[in-house]
Amino acid sequence: MTTDTSTLPTWTKTSINLADPRLGALPITASDEFFAPLSRMLNPEPAVFVPGKYDDNGKWMDGWETRRKRVMGHDWSIIKLGRKGVLAGFDVDTSHFTGNYAPAVSIEGTDAISDDPAVLANAQWTEVLTSTSLSGNSHHYLPATDSSAYTHLRIHIYPDGGIARLRVYGQPVGAFDEPGKVYDLAALENGGRAVAFNDAHFGAASNLLLPGRGINMGDGWETRRRREPGNDWCILALGAPGVVERIEVDTAHFKGNYPDRCMIQAACMDGGTDQSIITQSMFWPVLLDERKLQMDAIHTFADGIAALGPVTHVRLNIIPDGGVSRLRIWGKVAR
């Protein structure tokens, strides 16, 4: 099953997935996990179906699935978000769940300092998604009904069944609370996001913003082999406008396929859309002039960064093509 990204709500493209375990999201507890554990529902990879695969409890399913309920009530689970954030909406994904999907879902949020299930059971919960009917083997893009900031979510399914994946779109809060501190302005956990790219055949551009170093060659942004003139590029939105002081380009695990060189442009964009930014980015001023890269290495550039003032977006140009594991844009938030 494929998803037509052109029809997705805008908030899926301008927010990050706060429920990504790579940001620290965790499964806390669930009323039932008989057929499939809650942790699978947070897996950042798309859900898969493996014909003929069974475990001790029945058919192996890639998601969270409860047993058939034979008593009154409904099943529920609690997850911790990777970052406290303001919610924009949800993708409740029932991919590959057909006769066993959850017929309906609702979601509540709370702002808590403890992950203890007993403490969370007595917390004050606010409805952030009203009870909504679901279909099997489908993505359901549902806007949040509350714009407060939350740390934990409680997911109710009525009465039982399975959800393959839950994506929680939103913006982290409190990421830049120390004036004068140098932050990675592009980091996913700080609200950075991939806006656009010309190619991502072997790896998503959003991988550039993940925490830590890449775990393998698939955990980065990699383009196909270029067979025509030009170079590949991607555009990233920073978590907040800032003045760049240092840049790191990490080619971890990329050896026979790292870019020969890189160059970075940047600008402070006010208004417009992601699509209009693509066109404008061709004319942005140069933040970091063309630099030579090496395989499987962290390249730190502090000298020669142009004094452009506060910027909101950067465009990473790789010449001519190849793979980059991580990009760090270190700077101070323009307050």
Regarding whether 251 and 150 lie in a shared domain, the answer is: no
Q: What is the DSSP letter of 21?
A: G
Q: Of 110, 139, 172, which one is at a domain's C-terminal end?
A: 172
**Parent domain of 219:** 182-333
| Rg for the chain, CA atoms, rounded | 21
Q: Is residue 260 part of a domain?
A: yes
Regarding whether 234 and 187 lie in a shared domain, the answer is: yes
320: which residues sit within 8 A by CB, 6+ positions away?
226, 230, 231, 232, 259, 260
Regarding whether 246 and 297 lie in a shared domain, the answer is: yes
Regarding whether 161 and 25 lie in a shared domain, the answer is: yes
148: which residues sit within 8 A by CB, 6+ positions away?
86, 87, 109, 111, 126
Distance from C-alpha of 77 to C-alpha of 38, rounded to nearest angstrom: 8
The DSSP line for 187-249 is -GGGT-EEEEES--SSB-GGGGGSSSS-SSTTSSEEPPPP-SSS-EEEEEEEEEEEEEEEEEE
Regarding whether 305 and 236 lie in a shared domain, the answer is: yes
> What is the pLDDT tens value at each position of the chain, 335 positions in all?
445 666 899 999 889 999 999 999 999 999 999 999 999 999 999 999 999 999 999 999 999 999 999 999 999 999 999 999 999 999 999 999 999 999 999 999 999 999 999 999 999 999 999 999 999 999 999 999 998 999 999 999 999 999 999 999 999 998 898 999 999 999 999 999 999 999 999 999 999 999 999 999 999 999 999 999 999 999 999 999 999 999 999 999 999 999 999 999 999 998 878 888 999 999 999 999 999 999 999 999 999 999 999 999 999 999 999 999 999 999 999 98
Q: What is the DSSP letter of 277?
A: H
Regarding whether 195 and 159 lie in a shared domain, the answer is: no
Q: Is residue 177 part of a domain?
A: no
Regarding whether 86 and 56 lie in a shared domain, the answer is: yes
Regarding whether 186 and 69 lie in a shared domain, the answer is: no
Regarding whether 96 and 193 lie in a shared domain, the answer is: no
Distance from C-alpha of 261 to C-alpha of 48, rounded to nearest angstrom: 37
271: which residues sit within 8 A by CB, 6+ positions away?
none
Q: Is residue 128 part of a domain?
A: yes
Q: Is residue 50 part of a domain?
A: yes
Regarding whether 307 and 257 lie in a shared domain, the answer is: yes
The domain total for the chain is: 2
Sign of torsion over alpha carbons 318, 329, 315, 302: negative
Regarding whether 13 and 150 lie in a shared domain, the answer is: yes
Prediction pTM value? 0.90
**Residue 175: its pLDDT value, please?**
84
**Residue 273: its pLDDT value, please?**
83
Specify the 3-state DSSP secondary structure of 97. Answer: coil
**Residue 4: its pLDDT value, please?**
60
**Residue 157: its pLDDT value, please?**
98
Q: Which two tokens stand for residue 24?
A: 């620290």
**Residue 2: its pLDDT value, please?**
47
For residue 163, the domain's CATH number is 2.60.120.260
Regarding whether 271 and 138 lie in a shared domain, the answer is: no
